[in-house]
A and B are shown apart, each in its own frame.
Chain A
Amino acid sequence: MQPVHLCVNGLETDVEVHPLETLLHTLRDRIGLNGTKEGCGTGYCGACTVLVDGDAVNACLLLAVDADRKEVVTIEGLAGDAGALHPVQAAFVENGGLQCGFCTPGMILSAASLLAATPDPSDDEIRAGISGNLCRCTGYQSIVASVHDAARRLRESGRSGERPGPRAHIRSRA
């Protein structure tokens, strides 16, 4: 077993993992954060998308040992204090950007990461940005509308370009 030091949603955590254990498994089964979903388990569906040092990645492909000393943001870490929804979450709720909800955590984190880099994306940029996230029920039209609305909400609240998730100081691996 390998010791791994993670900063998940602002909280520093030490876990011991098997070298081939995925970050998805660590998050769900060791840390108890079940918001990150397992769909295909092979990097196609994007249901397991989390942010690692700000980049959207497939948690089913990234090994936990490779997240050592990195900052991980899951869907549980996106909302603000006292449970106030993040603007991207609020936009998905108000625009009906979900139906069964299974793809939603990954879809919202992909959108949040896209908007941090591209505050006012075009339709094409949004579709490219969420092209690694499969939705099998609601279709993509309302999701694209949700991302546009989220971009507007972030701009209007002066949070454009803000890196999603709580901040924590963590030493980079030397």
Chain B
Amino acid sequence: MQYFEPNFVNEALVVLERFGPRAKALAGGTRLGPSLRGDCGDVVALVNLKRIASLAAITSEHGRMRIGALVTAAELAHSPSIVAAAPLLSLAAASMGSRQLRALASIGGNICSGDAASDLTTALLACDAACVFAALNHGERRLALSDVLVPGGTICAPGELLVAVEVPRCDGLTAFEKMTTRRGFEMALVAVAVTITMEGARAVSVRIALAGAGPTCQRATNAERFATAESPDGYGREWGERVGAVAAERDAAPDSDERAGADYRRHLVAVLTARALRTALGRRA
């Protein structure tokens, strides 16, 4: 295996272009390292991104934050700019695994490893985040995160690199709820992230994102439409429970695995969605 430590994004792109699908970009390494040890399969080139300073930066422009792909979960949890502008992202990052893991795991790796139970990806979906991909000679392209995810990964093409995630200011009514059996060791069974935008007494926008409820992290679009169309009790408990029921019945498509059955995951979607909506609305001044 050939090993590269580029100093600039363009240097990394040259290597990724040259080796195509047989090159792997290394960010935090919490997934890629263990998966390559023992059997590297077709991988012949490893591109370690850690020396590329621009990938580790958090910047802000025109009300949008640009979070470099190497920014770690620990930084997302504690960075004052993230805590202020996207507290939902900080909450989700702080809930991930152990301290030891959060110090290493990166936002880019979290998205690209395509885990259907990713806390960060779920929070980013609810924040309406976009992914910025770079490719040699093609500049950058921006895609909504919801259009990027496919089961087990992203649509990132060979030769392309996820360089940053852009997040609009998202400091309104938000909440993150998650069920796990062992904090510190296991991914979420189900996690739900919500953001609500109110105009006066009316919810004009409700975004609901689910983890562990299908083959990828996903927006619960049916529940979102229902949530903005119906409010029989002024966004009270009944509303939250009905929205949760729609998410469980019409958006979630969970599988059973060794950690939880599909029926239990569906139940969790209903309960955690209702709880997240209640928590978010509880933040109204």
Give chain B interface residues in 63-85, CB to chain A under 8 Å. 74
CB < 8 Å: which of A44, A55, A56, A128 contacts B185?
A: A44
Q: How far is the CA of A47 from the CA of B130 in the complex (A)?
A: 37
A132 interface contact, C-beta 8 A: yes
A19-B46, A61-B29, A134-B185 known; A42-B34 Cβ under 8 A: yes
Residues on A with C-beta less than 8 A from B101 are 43, 58, 61, 132
Interface size class of A (residues with CB under 8 A): 20 to 34
Question: Number of contacting residues on B, CB 8 A?
Answer: 25
A85 contacts B by Cβ under 8 Å: no
Is B104 a contact partner of A62 (Cβ separation < 8 A)? yes
CB of A56 within 8 A of CB of B100, answer yes
User: Which one of B33, B51, B183 contacts A63 once the chains associate, using CB atoms below 8 Å?
Assistant: B33
What residues of A have a CB within 8 angstroms of the CB of B1 in the complex?
19-20
Judge whether B184 is part of the interface by a CB distance below 8 angstroms: yes
* Nearest-CB residue, chain A, relative to B185: A44
Q: Which residue of A19, A43, A173 contacts B30 across the interface (Cβ within 8 Å)?
A: A43
- Whether the pair B74, A132 counts as a contact (CB closer than 8 A) is no
A56 and B104 contact, Cβ closer than 8 Å, known pairs A20-B1, A43-B34, A173-B51? no
CB closest residue in chain B, given A60: B34
Q: How far is the CB of B61 from chain A (nearest CB, A)?
A: 26
Nearest residue in B to A132 (C-beta to C-beta)?
B98
The 0/1 profile, CB within 8 Å of B marked 1, for residues 49-71 of chain A is 10010011110011101100000
- Chain B positions within 8 Å of A66 at CB level: 29, 48, 50
- Known contacts A43-B30, A131-B183, A173-B51; decide if A20 and B100 are in contact (CB<8 Å): no
Tell me the bound Cα distance from A62 to B28 in angstroms. 8
Q: B34 and A61: CB pair below 8 A? A: yes
Q: How far is the CA of A53 from the CA of B46 in the complex (A)?
A: 25
Asked whether B100 lies within 8 Å of A57 as measured between CB atoms, the reply is yes
Residue contact B37 to A20, C-beta cutoff 8 Å: yes
Q: Does A129 contact B (CB under 8 A)?
A: yes
Whether A46 contacts B104 by the Cβ 8 Å rule is no
- Residue pair B98, A20 in contact (C-beta under 8 Å): no
Q: How far is the CB of B75 from chain A (nearest CB, A)?
A: 11
**Interface membership of B168, Cβ < 8 A:** no
Q: Closest 4 interchain pairs by CB? A: A132-B98, A131-B184, A19-B3, A55-B103
Residues of A bordering B, CB below 8 Å: 2, 19-20, 22, 41-44, 46, 49, 52, 55-58, 61-63, 65-66, 110, 113-114, 128-129, 131-134, 173
Further 15 A-B residue pairs, CB within 8 A, beyond A61-B30, A61-B34, A132-B100:
A20-B36, A20-B37, A43-B97, A56-B99, A58-B104, A61-B33, A61-B101, A61-B104, A63-B33, A65-B5, A65-B48, A131-B99, A132-B101, A132-B184, A133-B98
